[in-house]
Amino acid sequence: MSSNAIHIKKDYKPDELKKGVYLVLLNANHVPPHIGLLIDNIYHSLTIKGQELNINGNVLLKNISLRKIAAVFIKLKKHPVFSNQFLNETFIEQIKLFDKVNDHTNTCMSPIRLFFEEFYAIPKEDVKLIFDLLSGLKENDFIDTTYGANLGELKENIFYLHTYSEADLKKQIKSELQKIKP
* pLDDT tens sequence across 64-95: 999 999 999 999 999 999 999 999 999 999 99
Report how far residue 174's alpha carbon sits from residue 178's, in angstroms, rounded to the nearest whole number.
6
Amino acid at 84: N
Write down the pLDDT at residue 182: 61
Q: What is the pTM of this model?
A: 0.93
Picking from 59, 66, 68, the residue whose alpha carbon sits closest to that of residue 152 is 68
Write down the pLDDT at residue 124: 92
Upper half-sphere CA count for residue 64 (Cβ side, 13 Å): 24
Write down the pLDDT at residue 33: 95
Write down the pLDDT at residue 103: 75
Report how far residue 1's alpha carbon sits from residue 4's, in angstroms, rounded to the nearest whole number.
8
Residues counted in the chain: 182
Write out the chain's pLDDT in tens, 182 residues.
566 889 998 777 888 889 999 999 999 999 999 999 999 999 999 999 999 999 999 999 999 999 999 999 999 999 999 999 999 999 999 999 999 998 778 999 999 999 999 999 999 999 999 999 999 999 999 999 999 999 988 889 999 998 888 888 888 888 888 887 66
Beta carbons of 24 and 156 less than 8 angstroms apart: no
